[in-house]
Structure 1
Amino acid sequence: MIDEVDRKILRSLHYHPRASFRLIGEVAGVSEQTAARRYQALRREGVMRVVGLINPEVHGLARWVTRIRCRPDRVAPLADALTRRPDIAYVGLASGGSEIICMILSPVDAPRDDILLRQLPKAASVLDVSIDLLIHAFGTVGFSEWSGYGGRLTPDQVARLTADRPPAATGPFQPPTVEDTPLLDALAEDGRTTHTRLAELTGWSKARVARRLDALESSGSLTYDVDLLPEPLGHHLNAILWLRVAPAHLQRVGDELADHDEVAFAGAMSGNHNIMAVVNCRDAEDFYRYLTTRVAAVPGVDAYSVSIRVRRLKQAASLIAHGRLIPPGPA
């Protein structure tokens, strides 16, 4: 059973994914050992993962928001093919059972067919496709920085976590090298892997590990994401809002949405609906409240539509199987 201590641990990781268990324990009001044990239990149960990710922009990749409508009898193989592709960061099935929503990493100038259709089952199963470029992420570049699960921290606690966190990236990017592969593979598996363990895996000294991490992090090449499943935290309705906003209001509306507790991600995109917002709510009534109070209070939204997600297959750096977050690879 997830309690307030667990939520404070998750909230601490939200502010500083690699914070020490000593600091996390002090913030959550428990011992260092209890904080470590609670964290490991959450990770083992597949509720959350801390992952280290290379920023796609390092390799000149953009994010493409893609909606695929296909024959209902072909949804499963098509979604599975998309989920297994390393260039696809997110896959979800929308209500109705025939729409797949995904986010693809591909160069801005890539031909449309190269972005989507390669390595998929026969294209005859695809009835309609829309592909729009994600042109800006509001608030955060992560895809799962949702914070609506409770565990609120005081301003002093937030200040302690953020003061201990490495400074914001200043660039320019430091592209990873072949030598970095063991380091990055370990962080993709567990973004909290210790310097000692990273030194063992790479054959480097701990000082060299620290220097390389500092170079990758300070340039913005390496980022950390706290990947969460909302259902164990009591939020069982997940939706994507597609909003239409006049360009003059785009930044303000996007920033306001990104600040909502219910929103896991908000981004500006090309297309008829030029803002997407990923929303987690407790149930249908909670979602209705969110739409009619918080979204309704945001001036500048001209139109919207909703995709209710009935199943998520992949998010950030994790596959989702049997209600658990797992590393990419065979389920």
Structure 2
Amino acid sequence: MDSATLGGTSLGELDLQLLHALHLDGRAPFSRIAEVLGVSDRTAARRFARLRAAGAARVTAVLDSRGSGHAEWLVRLRVPPPAAADLARELARRPDTAWVTVLSSGTEIVFIVRAPAGRAAPLAGLARHPRILGVEAHRLLRHLMEHRWPGRTSALTGEQVAALRPAPGGVAAPIALNDLDRRLLPVLAADGRAAYPRLAGRVGWSESAVRRRLEELRRSGALRFDVEVDPVLLGFPAQCLIWLAVAPSRLASTARALAADPQAAFVGAVTGPHNLLVIAVCRDEDALYAYLSDRLGSLDGVERVETAPITSYAKRVAPPT
């Protein structure tokens, strides 16, 4: 794909390379990215500023729930179609929600909500909401992909990837959030590339303290940076939630296989009648059909499949809590 457009924004090869570079390290200095891509610092910074201003892409910080002592719950709401958009926006405003989506013909909303580990999902009031017809909550046990949507990251060569990939962090272990974290993380969730002087000014701590704490969170694996890009912009308008019921003996192998698929934007283990959740992104409905019938249909151990197309997003990533 040489280019793509959305709302007047055109993605050229350099834009795709830049997004791939940021996918590898969301806080990599533009000077390092520019050197690897063979362009000037100013060009790299200007191209990303253009994409961000157009709402086409942004870097955001995501706190590992296990590292913060929180649990994630996948919640499904049945709603009357006229209420879906307003309810989705209402849920998106909550600081503990992530990835608020409207499915199918607007009859269902799916979102992730975070809560302290050991506590039930914070859903008080939803069951009694006059515009909510039904509520299901299932624990999101584990994210089973190292990076979201590997299919989008194909613009760089192997040599360029090696030059930009940061040193691996540790395995996320529970880490107590302090006052600095509670001030810092929402700012980074809104702009993962915010410069240290700006971060220091926003949180009221010294620049050196902010730098040390951010490096500590990254080194521990508790904090990672991701690039939000609408798949439509990259030429993948067919997006679908897929719930899979997989035989327990095949769960790990099936998850590994799916996590390597270029069509998979997310793979996670969940509780409930289905034990795997997949977000698939495809170029069109024919490609989605082929993925469902040929790819999923060929996997041993898959006992049941439920699908629902994603029609809109009200929120993609929540500020860490």
TM-score normalised by the chain length of structure 1: 0.85
| Partner residue, 2:262 | 261
Conserved 8 A contact 1:81-1:121: no
Q: Could you tell me which residue of structure 2 aligns to residue 132 of structure 1?
A: 138
Q: For residues 1-331 of structure 1, what are the structure 2 equivalents within 5 Å?
A: 1-111=10-120, 115-118=122-125, 120=126, 122-140=128-146, 145-149=148-152, 151-162=154-165, 165-202=166-203, 204-317=205-318
Q: Hey, what does 1:322 align to over in structure 2?
A: none
Alpha-carbon deviations, 1:220-244, whole Å to 9, x = none?
Answer: 3322121121111111111111111
Q: Kindly indicate whether the alpha-carbon contact (under 8 Å) linking 1:173 and 1:220 is maintained by their aligned counterparts in 2.
A: no
Residue 134 of structure 2 aligns to a residue whose secondary structure is strand
Contact kept? 1:175, 1:221, Cα under 8 Å: no
User: Relative to structure 2, which stretch is displaced further, 284-293 or 40-49?
Assistant: 284-293
The alpha-carbon deviation at position 274 of structure 1 amounts to: 0.9
SS of the counterpart of 1:296? Answer: helix
> 2:12, 2:96 → 1: CA distance?
36
- Supply the distance in 2 between the matched residues of 1:275 and 1:68 (Cα, whole angstroms): 19
Counterparts of 1:252 and 1:312, CA distance in 2? 30
Q: Deviations over 1:270-311 (max 9, x none)?
A: 111111101111211121232233333433222211110111
Residues in 2 aligned to 1:117 and 1:167: alpha-carbon distance in whole angstroms: 39
Shift of 1:125: 2.9
CA distance change for structure 1 residues 23 and 76 in 2, over 3 Å: closer, same or farther?
A: same
Q: What letter is aligned with 2:123?
A: L
Shift of 1:36: 1.0
Partner of 2:5: none
* Larger mean Cα displacement after TM superposition, 29-38 or 182-191: 182-191
CA distance in 1, matches of 2:134, 2:128: 14
Contact 1:8 1:27 in 2 (8 A): no
What runs of 5+ residues in structure 2 fail to find an aligned partner?
1-9
Q: Could you tell me which amino acid in structure 1 is paired with residue 163 of structure 2? A: R
Count of paired positions? 310
The 1:253/1:186 distance shift into structure 2, 3 A limit, reads same
Contact 1:173 1:216 (C-alpha < 8 Å) held by counterparts = no
Q: Which amino acid aligns with 1:126?
A: I
Deviation at 1:168, TM superposition (A): 1.3
Listed one character per residue, the Cα deviations across residues 91-122 of structure 1 (whole Å, up to 9, x for unaligned) are 111112211111111245434xx63243x495
What TM-score comes out, normalization by structure 2 length? 0.87
Over 3 Å counting, the alpha-carbon distance change for 1:203 and 1:214 in structure 2 is same
The amino acid that maps onto 2:66 is: E
Unaligned runs of 5+ in 1: 319-331
**Cα separation, 1, equivalents of 2:200 and 2:245:** 49
